[in-house]
Chain A
Amino acid sequence: MSITKKVLSLTAASMVFATVARAEDYVITLKGQEFSPANLTIPADKKVKITVKNTNPTAAEFESHELSREKVVGANSEISVFVGPVKAGTYGYFDDFQRDVAKGTITAQ
Chain B
Amino acid sequence: MLATLIIVFRELIEAGLVVGIVLAATRGVAGRSLWVGYGVAAGLLGACMVALFAKGINAAMAGFGQEFFNAGVLLLAVLMLTWHNVWMAKHGREMAREMKSVGEAVSSGSRSLLALAIVVGIALLREGSEIVLFLYGIAVSGNETLANMVIGAAIGVVLGVGCTALTYFGLLRIPNRYLFLVTGWMIALLSAGMAAQAVAFLEQAQVVNRLGETAWHSGWLVSQDSITGKTLHTLVGYNESPTIMQVFTYLFTLLGTFALMKWVGGTPAKKMVLVRT
On A, residues with C-beta under 8 Å from B are: 17-18, 21, 47, 49, 57-59, 61, 65-69, 71-72, 74-75, 77, 79-87, 96-99
In the complex, which residues of chain B have a beta carbon less than 8 angstroms from the beta carbon of A66? Answer: 217, 219, 240-241
Give the residue name and chain of the B residue nearest to A60 (CB). Answer: B137
Interface residues of B in 107-148 (CB under 8 A from A): 130, 133-134, 136-138, 140-141
Q: Tell me whether A82 and B246 are in contact (CB under 8 A).
A: no
Q: Which of A65, A75, A87 contacts B224 (CB 8 A)?
A: A65
Q: Which of B140, B204, B206, B213 contacts A69 (CB 8 A)?
A: B204
Q: Tell me whether B214 and A65 are in contact (CB under 8 A).
A: no
In the complex, which residues of chain A have a beta carbon less than 8 angstroms from the beta carbon of B28? Answer: none
Interface residues of B in 1-58 (CB under 8 A from A): 3, 7, 54-55, 58
Give the residue name and chain of the A residue nearest to B213 (CB). Answer: A85
13 A-B contacts, Cβ less than 8 Å apart?
A57-B137, A59-B134, A65-B225, A67-B241, A71-B66, A74-B54, A77-B55, A79-B63, A79-B66, A81-B204, A82-B204, A96-B130, A97-B133
Bound Cα distance A105, B130 (Å): 23
Interface of B is mostly: helix
Q: Number of contacts between A and B (CB, 8 Å)? A: 85
In the complex, which residues of chain B have a beta carbon less than 8 angstroms from the beta carbon of A84? Answer: 212
Q: Does B242 contact A (CB under 8 A)?
A: yes
Q: Does B243 contact A (CB under 8 A)?
A: yes
Q: Does B176 contact A (CB under 8 A)?
A: no
Bound Cα distance A87, B58 (Å): 29
In the complex, which residues of chain A have a beta carbon less than 8 angstroms from the beta carbon of B214? Answer: 68, 86-87
Extra contacts, 6 of them, besides A47-B206, A97-B137 (Cβ < 8 A), are A58-B138, A65-B223, A68-B241, A74-B54, A74-B58, A75-B137
In the complex, which residues of chain B have a beta carbon less than 8 angstroms from the beta carbon of A68? Answer: 200, 203, 214, 239, 241-243, 246
Tell me, rounded to whole Å, the shortest Cβ–Cβ distance linking B55 to chain A.
6
Q: Tell me whether A58 and B209 are in contact (CB under 8 A).
A: no
Q: Tell me whether A21 and B206 are in contact (CB under 8 A).
A: yes
Closest 5 CB pairs of A and B: A58-B137, A65-B224, A82-B206, A59-B133, A59-B137
Digit string of B187-212 for contact with A (CB within 8 Å is 1, else 0)? Answer: 00000000000001001111001001
In the complex, which residues of chain A have a beta carbon less than 8 angstroms from the beta carbon of B200? Answer: 68-69
Bound Cα distance A48, B67 (Å): 16
In the complex, which residues of chain A have a beta carbon less than 8 angstroms from the beta carbon of B243? Answer: 68
In the complex, which residues of chain A have a beta carbon less than 8 angstroms from the beta carbon of B219? Answer: 65-66
Bound Cα distance A11, B224 (Å): 37
Bound Cα distance A72, B65 (Å): 11
In the complex, which residues of chain A have a beta carbon less than 8 angstroms from the beta carbon of B58? Answer: 72, 74, 77, 79
In the complex, which residues of chain A have a beta carbon less than 8 angstroms from the beta carbon of B225? Answer: 65, 99
Give the residue name and chain of the A residue nearest to B229 (CB). Answer: A65
In the complex, which residues of chain A have a beta carbon less than 8 angstroms from the beta carbon of B64? Answer: 80
In the complex, which residues of chain A have a beta carbon less than 8 angstroms from the beta carbon of B134? Answer: 59, 97
Given contacts A61-B130, A69-B204, A47 and B212 within 8 Å (CB-CB): yes
Give the residue name and chain of the A residue nearest to B143 (CB). Answer: A58
Bound Cα distance A84, B211 (Å): 10
Bound Cα distance A66, B224 (Å): 9
Given contacts A72-B66, A97-B137, A82 and B55 within 8 Å (CB-CB): no
Give the residue name and chain of the B residue nearest to A80 (CB). Answer: B63
In the complex, which residues of chain A have a beta carbon less than 8 angstroms from the beta carbon of B203? Answer: 68, 82
In the complex, which residues of chain A have a beta carbon less than 8 angstroms from the beta carbon of B138? Answer: 58
Q: Which of B130, B206, B209, B242 contacts A72 (CB 8 A)?
A: B130
